[in-house]
Amino acid sequence: MPEKVVTAIEHELKFVAEMDYAAYFLTVYDIVRFARERGILCQGRGSAANSTVCFCLGITSVDPTKFDLLFERFISSARNEPPDIDVDFEHERREEVIQYIYQKYGRDRSAIVATVTQLHQKGAVRDVAKAMGMSVDAINKLSSSIWEFTDEWFEGKRISDQGFNANDPHLLKVLDLTRQFMGFPRQLGQHTGGFVITQGKITDLCPIINARMEDRTNIEWNKDDIDTLGFLKIDVLALGMLTCIRKGFDLLKDHYGKTYTLATVPQDDPAVYEMISHADTIGVFQIESRAQQSMLPRLRPENFYDLVIEVAIVRPGPIQGDMVHPYLRRRNGEEPVEYPSKELEDILGRTLGVPLFQDQAMKIAIVAAGFTPAEADKLRRSMATFKLSGLVTQFEKKLIDGMTGRGYTEEYARRIFKQLEGFGSYGFPESHAASFALLVYVSSWMKCYYPDVFATALLNSQPMGFYQPSQIVIDAQKHGVKVRPVDVNISKWDNTLEEPEGKYRAVRLGFRQVKGLSEQDVAALIAGRTEPYTAIHFMRDVGVSQGALERLADADAFRSMGMDRRKAMWEASALSDRPMGAFKGQQSASEFEAPVELPKLSLSEHVVQDYMSTSLSLKAHPVSFVRGELAAKRAVPTADLSKFRDGNFVRVAGLVLVRQRPGTAGGVCFITIEDESGVANLVVFQSLFEKFRKEILRSRLLMVEGKLQIEGEVIHVVVRRCYDMSSLLRQLNQKDEDPDVMTLSRADEKDEYVSQSVNRKTQVRKKPVQLEIFPSGRNFH
């Protein structure tokens, strides 16, 4: 082992001993040990990942000697406080860990930290409007008009399109009070996982309360309070991707006979990095967002440290500090990599001379500006997440004077300060990015080699991540995975893997995909499924509720019994006024009724009902039914955008998946739309956003025209005009693809379904279609 590394380890161990933190590390180790003994996946991260002690104890998976992580980021003698250790656990099983802590230390000596919930955006305007006597309808309209809070909104200039009088004195008073009310404390809540453990009774130190959740105790002071007082805190956090990976490992063991852990997944696989470089990352941890997918083909990660950089670079801190483009230009050989001194080359060598991490900012302050480690830690704290902006500027004079006094030019010193100032919004510590990068790689590896396993685990871990189940299923199908529908005789609660079909195993959708269906009803259905069901009333007899039967019928889950959606709903409805067991000896409830020839649903109606009941459809994509109308308006499928040239004008349309307007984007709105062929990324500049605000915020089906921007594999449409085409979706419950109505029937023993033509019948609905099934997209403000 190099002498430098040995010296660093000795230095750290000496500090840990002097500060008497051994008991703290062993407490965290004990919690991690409990989780691993019970098969709960966990991963340490944050500043403690810099610690050799944490690495040796197995709390973290990042080797600090490999990454040369900054020791003072973790602990320093000038900070009379314990280190901060974050451990992520599976989000579905974290409660087991929490209860272990309560059981071991007692609820009188352990409690979760409180948080003070502040009023933001919609909550503030709704509370004020209600107090000012506005009607419920008016409150809902006012709240729905919010995209962002600007001076124009508070002055009433952005709400006239909602039917409000922008000059109404009462309304203007409501808006003015909302401006004042935002930021006020609203209520006390639970911290995401910050635990306080004390030697004596907590009540001797601070007040405690019972949480609303059973068997949980909270202290009444928040995180900042206990930091000031120096209380020991351990963060027991939840991470959905750990749940997904653990479920994926279980499926690999059960269906492929392979056993993996986070440490044993094959490393540095070129095929995995190739997939990542093509932005084929839907569902992958941390790099699935639109911004990350735009960055991946530019950065083209080739090794693990590239993933560390990828995780850290698409953040407000590096973006605001103008670090992204210089790094990409240097990586691609478009500008030389230069260092003003050898000491800065040692710090910035792996990031090509561009500071991307908080750790580097601290090292620069120490080496180039003469900061002490304690002062550098204060600089780090001023850059910490969620802190008020502007605190970094307190260090401006000291940093610039220190650098110029050591021979650096003032221009370079100010450029470094500007980059560090960007971290005031959000800058990642290198150790944090390294811990996340491991989960990025593992989830990418699973998606690359076992897309059937990955999609199933991802669906079984919802809600989490960036995409809805429909996008996860579509992506799996594009990777050659066969997906089969929910069925009362085959499905389980979770989505499952069945026999191989092609290269991968087929995915059977589980009952968890059916909206409103309870696990209790599913348990009764499965327990009574000793042999295949042949009639709906047999399910009623084993304890499945009437509501559950109707939801299953809505989900078209009776195909294996020879019934389509409408016939199943008819049969289920016939049971509603009959006592349980009334049909013993009968094959169907309809034997008590005169034969009725039910009209068949069209394929488009089936798709509408699929989205209503399960939020996805295996039969078709909604946009495919209006392709003719869109083509008549010269809108091309999203998959065809790659056939055009950079700068071409195009029209494209699709369901709105996501709208984003990041604070670092200068008012630019990013929109992702989806049609039957894929997705398209739209860029809407601020002036155009104001012009087409109504279409952008309200459209479920959005059509745009604009200029194509192609940079390698990254394709955007820079929008010039927007059209709300949502009215086309309202036609789907009457619309047919062909003169004949399309219905679905059992095709063969593999449970595939094909289309067959039947005679057209008068369309009759039991209930009207609720078109909210096609949501107007997720909004991130």
Q: What is the pLDDT of residues 598-618, one digit of tens each?
A: 788 888 888 888 888 998 899
Band the pLDDT of 157: cuts 50, 70, 90.
low
- Residue 698 pLDDT more than 60? yes
Instruction: Please tell me the predicted confidence (pLDDT) of residue 721.
Output: 94
- Residue 639 pLDDT more than 60? yes
Choose among 238, 188, 198, 239: nearest CA to 218.
Answer: 188
Instruction: Please tell me the predicted confidence (pLDDT) of residue 355.
Output: 84
Question: Collapsing DSSP states into helix, strand and coil, what is residue 777?
Answer: coil
- Residue 153 pLDDT more than 60? no
pLDDT per residue as tens digits for the range 743-776: 333 333 333 332 332 232 333 333 333 444 555 5
Instruction: Please tell me the predicted confidence (pLDDT) of residue 321.
Output: 59
Q: How many helices (H) and strands (E) does the chain have?
A: 32, 18
Instruction: Please tell me the predicted confidence (pLDDT) of residue 282.
Output: 93
Q: Name the strand (E) or helix (H) holding 669.
A: strand 669-675
* Residue 344 Cα to chain centre, angstroms: 36
Query: Is the CB of residue 83 less than 8 Å from the CB of residue 24?
Result: yes
Q: Name the strand (E) or helix (H) holding 671.
A: strand 669-675
DSSP-assigned letters across all residues of 675-739: ETTEEEEEEE-HHHHHHTHHHHHH-SEEEEEEEEEEETTEEEEEEEEEEE-GGGGGGTTT--SSS
Which residues are within 8 A (CB) of 632 and not within 5 positions of it... i.e. 6 or more apart? none
Of residues 250 and 398, the one with the higher pLDDT is 250
Report d(CA 416, CA 449) in Å as an integer: 42
Choose among 481, 480, 523, 488: nearest CA to 506.
Answer: 481
149-172 average pLDDT score: 63
172-182 average pLDDT score: 83
Of residues 579 and 299, the one with the higher pLDDT is 299
Instruction: Please tell me the predicted confidence (pLDDT) of residue 659.
Output: 86
Cα-based angle 664, 670, 674 (whole degrees, multiple of 5): 155
* Residue 51 Cα to chain centre, angstroms: 29
Q: Where are the beta strands (DSSP E) in 104-228?
A: 110-118, 185-197, 208-210, 217-222
- Residue 651 pLDDT more than 90? yes
Instruction: Please tell me the predicted confidence (pLDDT) of residue 450.
Output: 97
For 299, the token pair is 């950065």
Highest mean pLDDT among 106-110, 248-252, 309-313, 392-396 belongs to 248-252
Highest mean pLDDT among 485-489, 588-592, 777-781 belongs to 485-489
Highest mean pLDDT among 154-163, 336-345, 718-727, 744-753 belongs to 718-727
pLDDT per residue as tens digits for the range 245-256: 999 999 999 999
Burial category of 17 from C-beta neighbours within 10 Å (exposed 0-12, middle 13-18, buried 19 and up): exposed
Query: Is the CB of residue 64 less than 8 Å from the CB of residue 50?
Result: yes
Backbone angles phi, psi at 393, to 5 degrees: -65, -20
322-347 average pLDDT score: 86
DSSP-assigned letters across all residues of 534-596: -SHHHHHHTT--HHHHHHHHHTT--GGGT--HHHHHHHHHHTTTS-TTTTTT-S-GGGGS---
pTM as predicted: 0.82
138-166 average pLDDT score: 62
Band the pLDDT of 223: cuts 50, 70, 90.
confident
Instruction: Please tell me the predicted confidence (pLDDT) of residue 168.
Output: 78
For 34, the token pair is 């409990």
Which residues are within 8 A (CB) of 167 and not within 5 positions of it... i.e. 6 or more apart? 156
Query: Is the CB of residue 684 less than 8 Å from the CB of residue 669?
Result: yes
Choose among 614, 487, 612: nearest CA to 539.
Answer: 487
User: Could you tell me whether strands 483-484 and 208-210 are parallel, antiparallel, or unpaired per DSSP bridges?
Assistant: unpaired
Band the pLDDT of 342: cuts 50, 70, 90.
confident
Instruction: Please tell me the predicted confidence (pLDDT) of residue 512.
Output: 94
Choose among 137, 186, 181, 185: nearest CA to 162.
Answer: 137
Instruction: Please tell me the predicted confidence (pLDDT) of residue 318.
Output: 66
Q: Where are the beta strands (DSSP E) in 330-419?
A: none
Report d(CA 97, CA 88) in Å as an integer: 11
- Residue 195 pLDDT more than 80? yes
Band the pLDDT of 224: cuts 50, 70, 90.
confident
Cα-based angle 358, 363, 365 (whole degrees, multiple of 5): 95
Band the pLDDT of 556: cuts 50, 70, 90.
very high
Backbone angles phi, psi at 746, to 5 degrees: -65, 130
Instruction: Please tell me the predicted confidence (pLDDT) of residue 744.
Output: 34
- Residue 745's DSSP bridge partners are 754
**How much is the mean pLDDT over the chain?**
81
pLDDT per residue as tens digits for the range 71-120: 554 555 555 556 677 899 999 999 999 999 999 999 889 999 988 887 77
Query: Is the CB of residue 91 less than 8 Å from the CB of residue 240?
Result: yes
Report d(CA 717, CA 642) in Å as an integer: 11
Instruction: Please tell me the predicted confidence (pLDDT) of residue 44.
Output: 85
Question: Collapsing DSSP states into helix, strand and coil, what is residue 249?
Answer: helix
DSSP state of 133: T
Instruction: Please tell me the predicted confidence (pLDDT) of residue 103.
Output: 92
Report d(CA 71, CA 375) in Å as an integer: 14
Instruction: Please tell me the predicted confidence (pLDDT) of residue 767.
Output: 39
CA atoms within 13 A on the CB side of 29: 12
pLDDT per residue as tens digits for the range 700-733: 999 999 999 998 888 999 999 999 999 898 877 6
Band the pLDDT of 387: cuts 50, 70, 90.
very low
338-342 average pLDDT score: 86
Neighbours of 731 (CB within 10 A): 12
523-543 average pLDDT score: 91
- Residue 460 pLDDT more than 50? yes
Band the pLDDT of 486: cuts 50, 70, 90.
very high
Report d(CA 559, CA 747) in Å as an integer: 10
Report d(CA 172, CA 165) in Å as an integer: 9
Residue type, 30: D
Q: Where are the beta strands (DSSP E) in 131-271?
A: 185-197, 208-210, 217-222, 233-239
Question: Collapsing DSSP states into helix, strand and coil, what is residue 175?
Answer: helix
For 441, the token pair is 């790689």
**Residue found by looking up tokens 């096609």 in the block:** 774
Report d(CA 15, CA 21) in Å as an integer: 9
Of residues 262 and 445, the one with the higher pLDDT is 445
Instruction: Please tell me the predicted confidence (pLDDT) of residue 271.
Output: 96
Instruction: Please tell me the predicted confidence (pLDDT) of residue 781.
Output: 39
- Alpha-carbon torsion 93, 94, 95, 100, what sign? positive
547-558 average pLDDT score: 93
Cis peptide, bond prior to residue 532, ω within 30 of zero: no
Lowest mean pLDDT among 115-119, 157-161, 438-442: 157-161
Band the pLDDT of 190: cuts 50, 70, 90.
confident
Length of the chain: 781
414-429 average pLDDT score: 70
Share of the chain above pLDDT 90, in %: 34
